Amino acid sequence: MRTCLLALLWASLSHCVDAMFLTGRTGVETGREEMIGDGAREGKLLRRFKRGWMWNQFFLQEEYTGSDKQYIGKLQSDMDKGDGTLKYILTGDGAGDIFTIDESNGDLHANKRLDREEKAFYTLRATVVNRNTGKKLEPETEFIVKLHDINDNEPKFAKEVYTASVPESSVIGTSVTQVTATDADDSMYGNSAKLRYSISQGHPYFSVDPDTGVIRTALGPGEMDREKREHYQVVIEAKDMAGQRGGLTGTTAVNITLTDVNDNAPGFSQNMYQFSVPESIKAGHPVGRIKAVDKDIGKNAEMSYSVVSGDGLDIFDVNTDRNTQEGVITVLKPLDYEKTMSYTLEIQVQNVQALHTHSQGTLPTIATVRIDVEDVDEPPLFERASYLMEVKEDAALGAVVGSVRAMDPDRTNSPVRYSIDRRTDLDRHFNVHSGNGSIFITRPLDREEADWHNISVIATEFNKPLQASRVPVYIRLLDVNDNAPMFASFYETFVCEKTKAGQKIQMVSAVDADDPVGGHKFFFSLDTEGVYRGNFTVRDNGDNTASILTRRSSYNPLHKSVYLVPVVITDGDFPMQSSTGTLTVRVCTCDREGNMELCNAEAQTSSAGLSTGALVAILLCVIILLMIVVLFAALKRQKKKEPLIISKEDVRDNVVSYNDEGGGEEDTQAFDIGALRNPEAMEESKQRRDIIPSDTLYPPLRRTAIPSQDNADVREFINQRVVDNDSNPTAPPYDSLATYAYEGAGSVAESLSSLGSASSEGDQDYNYLSDWGPRFRKLADMYGAEDSDRDS
């Protein structure tokens, strides 16, 4: 039912199906009547009614500033007969507060000033009741109070200051940025929210699109030059009412920066640069710096320099210092004032980045650089970097080894003096002629001592000793055969008593300090002067070794125990050198395999012979050991125990210490070792040494003799000693322990003492050796034979 009513209201047509009928007097009069459906209201008379309520939405001016309440409109019901029985009631948004209704006649008023931008419309409901009965005469109906917009809001920009940038030299109309403003007024109604943009500051460089707010450049590339002006502040105004007079405005500032493009070519502010360098400058060192100017910044100002022409084209180079963008001229090759005194270069500068199409360059890109070489007083210069000389080691004193030569490179060409750096020739083997640079030998040379003499020759200018330079001179000594060959080591061997003739007993080789070109070649032979030449032979093996061979089948050590075989060694060089080496051959007895078994005593001592040095060392050791022993003995004697009780009278007054630490096994003073030695000595019989023994306290213990056949003579011995002691008038006044060490008699092993066995070696009879088996046969032979020799 209600929805039906609403639909009627909104459609401005009244189709009431209710039993009631209302006459809308405020709204549009409707004369249509309608039959409503049957069945719905049973028992009621169905008739056509005139329409009741009828009103459209009400409109209200926002921001009303009048003094009294603003009249909105009038609600009227057809039931209202004007007799005051009806009462209008208003509910909904702001009812009673913002909006009030005259209860009696339905006049609607607004009490307050309203803002559309705050709330654009209010929904209210109205009804009519009987004032007396309170009965609802009409159904509640809803209506809307809409606020009419007025232009009470100015346009607002999102930011107070915008920042933007655009490359310099951009074409006209290049978009820089867009600014937009908003207007709170009703955009659907009137022009209150229709904005137009205009530029109020920033002419003539920039323009703004009136509708979109897009800012564009307004001047051509020539005018928009960062190098002239970089920063612009543009003020944009937005005006509502489509920009008409009376519209409200809002402004914003736009900070526009022109960004750099490479529109300036670098160039030199000077046409000519001049530098001077000493001729001594090292290759790679800088000569000077030049700098071109470029109005651009950053990457657009990076420059590269190059030498394009000039007579110093291949002698100098130019590179860019990346930090300062300067061109650094460096020298590539050594300079010589005496040859070229000055150079000219043409140096070009360019940007590393490509230039912009609208670029301009007013300065020349090529500059001339003149480099003057300054004369430097240089030290003498040797003809060569080093000298290699060779000389025979036996060259005579004063012989010339070679010559060095140096010149003063300066114009003056002053004479040069030569000298040898003595630190490189400490032994003064050489000297140099100070005038012509010839090197002489001043001391005999020996290749075997030093085969190289690497010296340093100094050349100084005659008048300026500080102008000096030096050159290494390598002098190699050439070998001369001035050393005789010798045995490679000391050779010593043996020969068996019974051997074969032609048996090889030793291999010998030789050494020679000389260093012949083709290697060593040694020859060996037996010295023909030798006394025993018939007993051995020398066989030259042809490979710088020789074998010593026996010549006899038996050598008797009794006739000759050591043979000294002289061997002559010769080298094959010129002048021929030779020496005689001696081989020591001992005669020994050998077993069947030829292994040495025993050598003659003379030979043995000689082989086991100690050097005098070793003997002295051993002697010293012995002396030191002896001294240590003596020292120990002396110390022991000093440490002898003091008696614990000095005299009888002091007993009570003295503090007696008992914590006496024994001296170990070796301390024979601490306890009586005799008690241990005697098998019969009893513990109880041990005397306390710290107190005076008394008869009452310590009755002397009688040893009970254990009868034993084996100990018979011991018992006898002890008894004898007891009697002796008892009858001894010099015995101490108190009981003391008497100990009797006794060694039994009848040991099978006789005394080991050497004193008794005085028989000398010479008196020995070695014949029993032959009974001891084949191992001792040789000994028996030797000693037994000697006896028989002597006998015979």
Ligand X SMILES: *[C@@H]1O[C@H](CO)[C@@H](O)[C@H](O)[C@H]1NC(C)=O
Q: For ligand X, which is the closer residue by CB, 21 or 532? A: 532
Residue pair 177/184 in contact by the 8 Å Cβ criterion? no
Look up tokens 């050439």; give the residue: 478
Measured from the CB atom, is 163 or 720 closer to ligand X? 163
DSSP state of 136: B
| HEC secondary structure over 485-516 | CEECCCCEEEEECECCCCCEEEEEEEECCCCC
Any contact of residue 778 with ligand X (CB under 6 A)? no
Residue where the block lists tokens 């509640």: 140
Question: Taking phi first (over 0 means left), then psi (-120 to 50 degrees means alpha), and beta for anything else, what does residue 253 get?
Answer: beta
Stretch that binds ligand X, among 38-46, 183-191, 328-336, 527-535 (CB under 6 A): 527-535
Selected range binding ligand X among 495-503, 526-534, 539-547, 756-764, rule: CB under 6 A? 526-534
Q: How far is the CB of 170 from ligand X (least distance, A)?
A: 20
Structure tokens at 652: 């009570």
Q: Binding ligand X by CB under 6 A: which of 532, 698, 776, 783?
A: 532
* Residue among 224 and 318 whose Cβ is closer to ligand X: 224
Which residues from 544-563 bind ligand X, rule CB under 6 A?
A: 559-560
Kindly provide the residue ranges of all beta strands, DSSP E only, lying in 512-561, ordered along the sequence: 522-526, 536-540, 545-550
Phi/psi for 440 (5° steps) reads -110, 160
Which region, judged by CB under 6 A, interacts with ligand X, from 115-123, 297-305, 433-441, 616-624?
433-441
* Shortest Å, Cβ 454 to ligand X: 4
The one among 255, 342, 412, 767 contacting ligand X by CB under 6 A: 255
Q: Are 169 and 208 in contact (CB under 8 A)?
A: no
Distances (CA, A) of 247 to 61, 151, 178, 210, 645: 19, 8, 22, 15, 140
Identified binder of ligand X from the candidate list 50, 370, 533, 721, rule CB under 6 A: 533
Residue in 161, 172, 501, 564 binding ligand X, rule: CB under 6 A: 161
Q: Residue 373 CA to chain centroid, in angstroms?
A: 47
Q: Does 158 bind ligand X (CB under 6 A)?
A: no
CA 763 to CA 491: how far, in whole Å? 39
Select from 520-528, 532-540, 610-618, 716-724 the region that touches ligand X (CB under 6 A). Answer: 532-540
Using the contact rule CB under 6 A, the part of the chain among 364-372, 430-438, 650-658, 672-680 near ligand X is 430-438
Task: Report in angstroms how near the CB of residue 434 gets to ligand X at its nearest.
Answer: 10
DSSP state of 780: I
Residues 560-599 binding ligand X (CB under 6 A) are: 560
Is 790 in a helix, a strand, or coil? Answer: helix
Q: Is 284 in the site for ligand X (CB under 6 A)?
A: no
Tell me: does residue 454 bind ligand X (CB under 6 A).
yes
- Closest contact distance (angstroms) between CB of 161 and ligand X is 5
506: amino acid identity, one letter = Q
Query: Which residues, 163 to 182, sit near ligand X by CB under 6 A?
Result: 163
Nearer to ligand X, 446 or 787 (CB): 446
| Nearest CB to ligand X, comparing residues 175 and 255 | 255
CB 202 to ligand X: min, Å? 12
173, 278, 465, 534: which one binds ligand X (CB under 6 A): 534
Q: Any contact of residue 6 with ligand X (CB under 6 A)?
A: no
Minimum distance, C-beta of residue 250 to ligand X, in the bound complex (Å)? 18
Look up residue 312 and give its amino acid: G
| CA angle 383–388–393, rounded 5-degree value | 140
Number of residues that bind ligand X (CB under 6 A): 19
Phi-psi region of 148 (alpha: psi -120 to 50; beta: other; left: phi over 0): beta
Q: Does 205 bind ligand X (CB under 6 A)?
A: no
Q: How far apart are CA 85 and CA 79, in angstroms?
A: 10
The nearer residue to ligand X, 228 or 231, going by C-beta atoms, is 231
User: What token pair was written down for 42?
Assistant: 């049973």
Tell me: does residue 360 bind ligand X (CB under 6 A): no
Does position 452 interact with ligand X (CB under 6 A)? The reply is yes
Tokens of 218: 């307004």
User: Is position 537 an interface residue for ligand X (rule: CB under 6 A)?
Assistant: no
From residue 27 to residue 66, the character string flagging contacts with ligand X as x (rule: CB under 6 A) and all else as - is ----------------------------------------
Instruction: Give the residue, chosen from 319, 438, 525, 606, that forms a contact with ligand X under the rule CB under 6 A.
Output: 438
Options 102-110, 135-143, 431-439, 781-789: segment touching ligand X (CB under 6 A): 431-439
Positive or negative torsion for Cα 606, 608, 612, 616: negative
Which residue minimizes CB distance to ligand X?
A: 534
Task: Give the nearer residue to ligand X in terms of CB position, either 233 or 412.
Answer: 233
Residues 474-493 close enough to bind ligand X by CB under 6 A: 474
Q: 97 — alpha (psi -120 to 50), left (phi > 0) or beta?
A: alpha
**Structure-token match 């980045």, residue found:** 353
Residue 529 is classified by DSSP as: T
Choosing from 144, 389, 400, 714, the residue that interacts with ligand X (CB under 6 A) is 400
Of residues 26, 344, 403, 547, which one binds ligand X by CB under 6 A?
403
Contacts of 45 (CB under 8 A, 6+ apart): none
423 binds ligand X (CB under 6 A): no
Binding status of residue 231 toward ligand X by CB under 6 A:
yes
- In the chain, count of helices (H) and strands (E)? 7, 41
Contact 769, 783 (CB under 8 A): yes
Closest distance to ligand X from the beta carbon of 349 (Å)? 34
Q: State whether the Cα torsion 372-375-378-384 is positive or negative.
A: positive
Q: How far apart are CA 261 and CA 200, in angstroms?
A: 28
Instruction: List residues binding ligand X (CB under 6 A).
Output: 161, 163, 231, 233, 255, 400, 403, 433, 436, 438, 452, 454, 474, 532-535, 559-560
